[in-house]
Structure 1
């Protein structure tokens, strides 16, 4: 589901009323826990958290005009999604997240390679998503990214 938004606040205003509180809370938890240096922006039609060009001028290798992506949140047609590039690329982080989720939440985890899907806003593990956002510093993400691209 695409929204025609130029800012994260504008995106949130366009989200259906029943999902708005969940998206606001998710956004707030991520911003509160995200390490210094990441920037909130619109990215791929979603609220994105990126390494800005001011820190990593090379940008994203697929399109260097874009900043290096890290996390995104979106209100899709049938679910709220959290995308995290670290989970996609770092097996230890994926294992940590899956184990923590299973230890603390009853709902089944609906997860793809980098995407967690929550059909019910009440099933979103806000604190766990906040912890996930805090796990990788900007420099660690840049270093990991550069080492991965060189292969």
Structure 2
């Protein structure tokens, strides 16, 4: 089972991962990461744009790689685009496997790729205007450990 989506509207992470128990009788572990818009630096909004011909196909390819590499029962990868506000979920990655380590590593691997890939452009609206958000050095270091 792979559920890979881009959404323009808010989503409920709990409702997304509720499908895992039905996905396979071999399921032994589910690991989920939900990233939300942080209110730090007086952020009023976060805008995510993307390159449409590349984003969803690349996300699906990443899901396939993660499923094969970590022998997953399933993977959910949902990412918002458009205008978001503090406290709203941006991304949900949930991996189901027969054992916990595979699920944990798969979520970590997937998030490291999502954080550093150039499929999304982010900017924050703060009281003094818009600010582009670039991946941090730590994001690139996190990604490099999977090579």
Q: Higher RCO, 1 or 2 (CA under 8 Å, sep at least 6)?
A: 2
Structure having the higher helix fraction is: 1
TM-score, structure 1 as length reference: 0.32
TM-score, structure 2 as length reference: 0.32
